[in-house]
Amino acid sequence: MSNSIRSDRGFSAFHVFMMVVLTVVISVSITAWIILNDVFVSEFKPVTLNEIESQALAGKLDELGVKGLNYDSQNSHVLTPERYNESDEMRVISLTEKEVNALLANNTDLASKLAIDLSENMASVKFLMPVDEEFPVLGGKTLKVTAGLELHYKNKKPVVIIKGISVWGVPIPSAYLGDIKNVDLVNEFGESGFWKSFSDGLNDLSVQDGVIKINLNK
């Protein structure tokens, strides 16, 4: 019998050990590459609109009476006298996912730090959060935080539910979020304060693939 211990397939204990070490090294290398190239991202690429999309967004902003933002129409900064008017059409706000991200890119300092995805009854967010230089190990790095928010309208009230928050792609336990995961915030906290005002001000809310539509109350 050989002095070296052998497995059923003829590998020695040394060979098995080296295979385990190699697997660990490969796994660590892949993880490190993902962290450096995906988790510790310095910035997102800001969303830009083509000429037709810019004109469409400018028209929507003009209808809402929003002035001073990028993508305004050519004469948006010129005030002209006009009779006050409230029509049902003016209470409806509809924006595409691309328009939302373009507004962020052109009017805030979050252009390369925040990205929003709109899907069926869901708004998903990617946010890059810098870590303080003095923080152990991760100091000076940038964390990628993702979150999902369920949004729709039911029983004459908006539904706002935090589906989850992840850091580095790892879901944060509900207990760490104050047990508000999968809780309807309007139903839970809508008796007074912000969530009551938010609910009372809406007549409808819908999120479809790539579009958010808000209907304001009178």
What pLDDT, in 10s, does the model give residues 139-155? Answer: 777 778 888 999 999 99
Question: What's the whole-model pTM score?
Answer: 0.64
pLDDT at 31 over 60: no
Assign 3-class secondary structure to the chain: CCCCCECCCCCEHHHHHHHHHHHHHHHHHHHHHHHHHHHCCCCCCCCCCCHHHHHHHHHHHHHCCCCCCCCCCCCCCCCCCCCCCCCHHHHEEEEEHHHHHHHHHHHCCCCCCEEEEEECCEEEEEEEEECCCCCCCCCCCEEEEEEEEEEEEECCEEEEEEEEEEECCEECCHHHHCCCECCEHHHHHCCCHHHHHHHHCEEEEEEECCEEEEEECC
Query: Tens digit of pLDDT for each residue in 76-106?
Result: 455 677 787 788 877 888 888 988 888 877 7
| Percentage above 70 pLDDT, the chain | 67
Residue 157: pLDDT band (50, 70, 90) is very high
Hey, where are the domains in the chain? 11-40, 43-216
What pLDDT does residue 120 have? 94
